[in-house]
Amino acid sequence: MVVPQAVPDAEALERVAELVAAQRVRPVIDRRFRLEDAAHAIRYMETEHTSGKVVVTTA
């Protein structure tokens, strides 16, 4: 299955960088997992409908 992806141009990337620098863009985090639970994090991403990013932390 081929999933179409948009390819941003330099102007769009510069605008995103400006928004990030101004702290106007915030990631939506669905769940956090410890590194030792990374396998569970992968299963969660494969089987659940996530509403944001799944983060694996080292500390």
pLDDT 10s per residue in the chain (59 long)? 666 678 888 998 899 899 989 999 888 999 999 999 999 999 999 998 888 999 999 98
Positive or negative torsion for Cα 59, 45, 54, 15:
positive
pTM of the model: 0.61
Give which of 1, 3, 23, 20 is closest to 12, Cα–Cα.
20
